[in-house]
Amino acid sequence: MHAHRDSKYKKQLIRRLSIASGQIKGLMKMIEEDKYCIDILHQSLAVKQALSGCEDLILENHLSTHVIEQIKSGKESKSTKEILDIYKLSKRK
């Protein structure tokens, strides 16, 4: 566990993940109830957007804490590699 997650950040992230969890439960219910495909796809896209918002928040925290520390301690290549790896992973579909 890393110490750079303040309570405000954690609360924001947990709130967003709780919303996404509710959306996923709604999506499952829609499938169980044989709802209209387009409506299911809209809900699925909402889930993706919620998770994307979480990823943005996590990345922002990482850049503003861990990356700065890594650069200050001479570990620029580590931070660069991590960011490039996650960027490449995000481009896969």
Domain region containing 83 = 7-91
Among all chains, which residue has been given the structure tokens 């896969």? 92
Q: What is the pTM of this model?
A: 0.78
In this model, does residue 59 exceed pLDDT 50? Answer: yes
CATH number of the domain that 26 lies in? 1.20.58.1000
In this model, does residue 1 exceed pLDDT 60? Answer: no
Q: What is the pLDDT of residue 3?
A: 52
Asked, for residue 61, whether it belongs to a domain, the answer is yes
Beta-strand (E) ranges in 3-49?
none
